[in-house]
A and B are shown apart, each in its own frame.
Chain A
Amino acid sequence: MTIQTTVNGNSAEIALEGWLDTQTSPELGTAVDELDSSVTDIVLDFKKLDYISSAGLRQIVVIYKKVRSLIIRNVTPEIMEIFRMTGFDKRLNIQ
């Protein structure tokens, strides 16, 4: 999985590419942890994300609880389906 992080002031945009599975999800956690503590708003770009499992979803919850604002962008229908199964679609700001 490739993680592309762009920081702009107190907001950061993290673009994910590939599979966010049990093996790779810790990488997302690491990427967020590495951000400056001034970053309060995070935007996750799922445009190139092919796959997400519960481990990935768990990381999203961790990030959600950590920051002030979390926006998920460019969600593919497949992943949207998984959000729907878990009720994430109702709690997350999906654009």
Chain B
Amino acid sequence: MSVKEAADSRPKKRGSVLRFITAIFLTVIVITGIACSVVGYLDVIHDIHDTSSQTAHSVSVILEDMYNSDVVSGNEGLLQADFRRDERMERVSKMLQLLCKDLDLVYLYVFTIDEEEKEYLYYFTAAADEEINEKVSQERGFGTVVPTDSFPQSVLAASKGATNTEVWKNENKYGKVYSWMYPLFDKEGNVRYIVGVDFDATKIENEIFQHTLRTSASIVLILLIMFLLLLILIRRKVLVPIKFVSTKMNRFMDDKERDDTPLDISVNNEVGEIADSFNKMRNDINQYLTEISTLTTERVQTQTQMEIAQRIQYGIVPAETYLNTKSYDAYAVERPCRNVGGDFYDLFVRDGDTLCAAVGDVSGKGVTAALFMVMVRTAIREKLLSGLSPARVLNLINDEICASNPEGLFATVFIAVLHLATGRLEYANAGHTPPVLLGQSETFLKVDSGIPVGLFEDAGIENAERLLAPGEGFLLYTDGVTEAVSKGGQFFGHERVLSATKGKKDARETVISLKADVRTFAEGREQFDDLTILAFFYGTYEPELSLAPQRSEWEKLKAFVLDKTDSSPLQKKLMLICDEIFTNIVSYSGAKKIGFSCEKEARCFTLLFTDDGKPFDPLSEKQNKKDFEEYDMGGMGILLVRQTADSIYYQRHDGQNRLLCRVDISADNKKITI
């Protein structure tokens, strides 16, 4: 985890959606409350203003009515009892006080003004309260004159007959009052008096305040309840599920307490969608996690396996082997590909007289293949050392593998055994790439392809043999050579093998040249298979016995062979072959020199005749069975040789006839036809 990611994963101080919504709601409620108060207040004021002005107006109308009816009835009118306290005045006063009480007025008074003298002239003054009524009746009683500095606008307007006067907020020693002034007209329409109607300002204000408060409070309360309900709803339907999802998500990847059970939310909204997405993501992630873990485990296993396998391989199969004496020259390299492969080779000399070479390719890669390779290689070496023929070695190994092969492993192997005394080469193939015959002209040897060991029981791999002349050699390799791929996608193929080894007379040079060619060819591409190359050349041949082309030399030859063999039917067979071939050479070839070697191998005797006479291939002689009577002219020799020997191989090399005969020691050895 990078530093940045680590920083990001630290829990952040986060705001709460609930708090945010609450803040918005409260703001809305406060604003609404204020708005309601303002509107309510204005409304109430207007209302009260209207009511009080109407009341005041009604009072003035009543008084006006009283006055005018009084005049009509012949009385002096309401106020004609000039400054006297009489019964009628008392009645008027009483009636005004009743009005005060009934209409909830503080004061009710009737007056005139003298604008010039700046005086109020009171006629009647009444108050709702009994005591105050008594008091104001005294202080502002009939005929009381009260000077003033100026008249309020409403008084002046009323004195001029205006009936739409504004309220006069007035505070004096009689308390805080809202006063309305209305003119009192006589029949002629003249302003006779001014009627003053006082309302208790404190009471009105209180009423306004209470009314406003009631209205606003109820609205705020309703809003609050709605908001709470909404909040509960949001919390239950959105926030709680979201929190649940979030907790779940956190715990999903928690190292200590991982909870990867699917989300089960029965919410059918956007949160439900989130839950669905989470569940899908959870499934995907779980799948990826499983895949990644499997891949990682596999990779680690493979890597470990590869390392072990490589160590095994390096330990068992040396990177190169170089053997060189007068009679042989052999070199092998193995270059495992970037990991480890099943390629192997073995190259060693048995008992100082036999060069053993094996090249193989085991199926599969990794430690299994490496162990299998080790097993196969060890078995090959052990069996070759015990003197078994290449085919026998392969068949035995095949049987051993087939007896228990749960992994179904198999290997292609080519084994070649060179008998240094004669140059006889035995080989057997178990499904491997064909070898190249090196020396005079490089060609692929036509060999039986055989069956890879480990595939089928009873592989029936057969031995083959040929005679290597001095300077001839063998090239073995794995398919890493022929199947090397160039940048252009071409295979290295067989032709390039031939051209890379053309004219090479030295094992090391041959191998290095081929390896270099493969490397150049596959330049820029990763080597995808192992590369194993083995080459060997047969060195110089020295015959054990040199004979002159004379019949008398037979005794020498006979003594030599008798000395090399013990008396047995086999000895006679060998003698017969030597007798016939020697006689043949002496009689017909015109040779000047005859070379002879008799080699006892593990399972057979081999006889090699060389002579510098005219070319003569006894194998190409037509086998016309002559009539018995014609045999006095000869012609039985080659027939007997062919019948006696288990194999005959002829070659003409470097001006010499080279004839190799093999006679098997044990009769049960299968006869090999070359």
Binding site for B on A (CB under 8 A): 21-23, 50-51, 53-55, 57-58, 61-62, 64-65, 78, 82, 85-88, 91
Contact with A along B586-626 (1 / 0, CB 8 A): 00000000000000000000000000000000000000010
Asked if A58 and B554 sit within 8 Å, CB to CB, the answer is no
With a cutoff of 8 Å between Cβ atoms, the chain A residues found around residue B572 in the complex are 50-51, 78
Asked if B640 and A54 sit within 8 Å, CB to CB, the answer is yes
Q: What is the interface residue range for chain B against chain A?
A: 20 to 34
Nearest Cβ on chain B to A67's Cβ, whole angstroms = 13
State in angstroms the CA–CA spacing of A62 and B558 once bound together: 25
The answer, among A23, A53, A87, A88, for a CB contact under 8 Å with B576, is A53
Among the stretches B126-134, B421-429, B577-585, the one at the interface with A is B577-585
Nearest Cβ on chain A to B283's Cβ, whole angstroms = 85
State in angstroms the CA–CA spacing of A87 and B636 once bound together: 10
Nearest Cβ on chain B to A22's Cβ, whole angstroms = 4
Asked if A86 and B554 sit within 8 Å, CB to CB, the answer is no
Asked if A53 and B580 sit within 8 Å, CB to CB, the answer is yes
Contact with A along B517-557 (1 / 0, CB 8 A): 00000000000000000000000000000000001101100
Known: A22-B583, A23-B551, A53-B576. A65 touches B632 (CB 8 A): yes
With a cutoff of 8 Å between Cβ atoms, the chain A residues found around residue B555 in the complex are 23
Contact with A along B630-649 (1 / 0, CB 8 A): 01111011011001100000
With a cutoff of 8 Å between Cβ atoms, the chain A residues found around residue B174 in the complex are none
State in angstroms the CA–CA spacing of A9 and B569 once bound together: 38
State in angstroms the CA–CA spacing of A64 and B628 once bound together: 10
Asked if B569 and A78 sit within 8 Å, CB to CB, the answer is yes
Residue of A nearest to B554 (CB): A23
Nearest Cβ on chain A to B567's Cβ, whole angstroms = 9
Asked if A54 and B583 sit within 8 Å, CB to CB, the answer is yes
Known: A21-B579, A82-B576, A87-B628. A58 touches B551 (CB 8 A): no
Residues 16 to 37 of chain B near chain A (Cβ within 8 Å): none
Q: 22 interchain pairs (CB within 8 A)?
A: A21-B558, A21-B575, A23-B552, A23-B554, A23-B558, A51-B576, A53-B583, A53-B640, A54-B580, A54-B634, A54-B640, A55-B583, A57-B636, A58-B631, A58-B634, A62-B632, A64-B629, A65-B632, A82-B576, A85-B639, A85-B644, A87-B628
Asked if B579 and A87 sit within 8 Å, CB to CB, the answer is no
Asked if A88 and B628 sit within 8 Å, CB to CB, the answer is yes
Binding site for A on B (CB under 8 A): 551-552, 554-555, 558, 569, 572, 575-576, 579-580, 582-583, 625, 628-629, 631-634, 636-637, 639-640, 643-644
State in angstroms the CA–CA spacing of A64 and B632 once bound together: 10
Closest CB pairs A-B (n = 4):
A54-B636, A61-B632, A53-B579, A54-B637
With a cutoff of 8 Å between Cβ atoms, the chain B residues found around residue A22 in the complex are 551, 554, 579, 582-583
Nearest Cβ on chain A to B321's Cβ, whole angstroms = 46
Nearest Cβ on chain A to B288's Cβ, whole angstroms = 80
Residue of A nearest to B639 (CB): A86
Q: How many contacts between A and B, using CB within 8 angstroms?
A: 67
The answer, among B629, B631, B640, for a CB contact under 8 Å with A85, is B640
Residue of A nearest to B582 (CB): A22
With a cutoff of 8 Å between Cβ atoms, the chain A residues found around residue B583 in the complex are 22, 53-55
Contacts A53-B640, A54-B639, A86-B640 known; 5 new A-B pairs at CB < 8 A: A21-B558, A23-B552, A50-B572, A85-B639, A87-B628
The answer, among B629, B637, B640, B644, for a CB contact under 8 Å with A61, is B629
State in angstroms the CA–CA spacing of A87 and B628 once bound together: 8
Asked if B582 and A86 sit within 8 Å, CB to CB, the answer is no
With a cutoff of 8 Å between Cβ atoms, the chain B residues found around residue A50 in the complex are 572
Nearest Cβ on chain A to B469's Cβ, whole angstroms = 28
With a cutoff of 8 Å between Cβ atoms, the chain B residues found around residue A23 in the complex are 551-552, 554-555, 558
State in angstroms the CA–CA spacing of A65 and B627 once bound together: 13
Residue of A nearest to B632 (CB): A61
Asked if B632 and A58 sit within 8 Å, CB to CB, the answer is yes
State in angstroms the CA–CA spacing of A91 and B640 once bound together: 17
Residue of B nearest to A90 (CB): B628
Residue of A nearest to B553 (CB): A23
Nearest Cβ on chain B to A30's Cβ, whole angstroms = 15
Asked if A65 and B629 sit within 8 Å, CB to CB, the answer is yes
Nearest Cβ on chain A to B637's Cβ, whole angstroms = 4
Nearest Cβ on chain B to A20's Cβ, whole angstroms = 10
Residue of A nearest to B579 (CB): A53
Nearest Cβ on chain A to B82's Cβ, whole angstroms = 193
With a cutoff of 8 Å between Cβ atoms, the chain B residues found around residue A57 in the complex are 631, 636
Nearest Cβ on chain B to A44's Cβ, whole angstroms = 15
Residue of A nearest to B555 (CB): A23
Nearest Cβ on chain A to B633's Cβ, whole angstroms = 8
With a cutoff of 8 Å between Cβ atoms, the chain A residues found around residue B625 in the complex are 87
With a cutoff of 8 Å between Cβ atoms, the chain A residues found around residue B576 in the complex are 51, 53, 82
Residue of A nearest to B641 (CB): A54
Residue of B nearest to A53 (CB): B579
Known: A82-B576, A86-B639. A61 touches B554 (CB 8 A): no
With a cutoff of 8 Å between Cβ atoms, the chain B residues found around residue A88 in the complex are 628
Nearest Cβ on chain B to A19's Cβ, whole angstroms = 8
With a cutoff of 8 Å between Cβ atoms, the chain B residues found around residue A82 in the complex are 576, 640
State in angstroms the CA–CA spacing of A86 and B625 once bound together: 9
State in angstroms the CA–CA spacing of A65 and B632 once bound together: 9
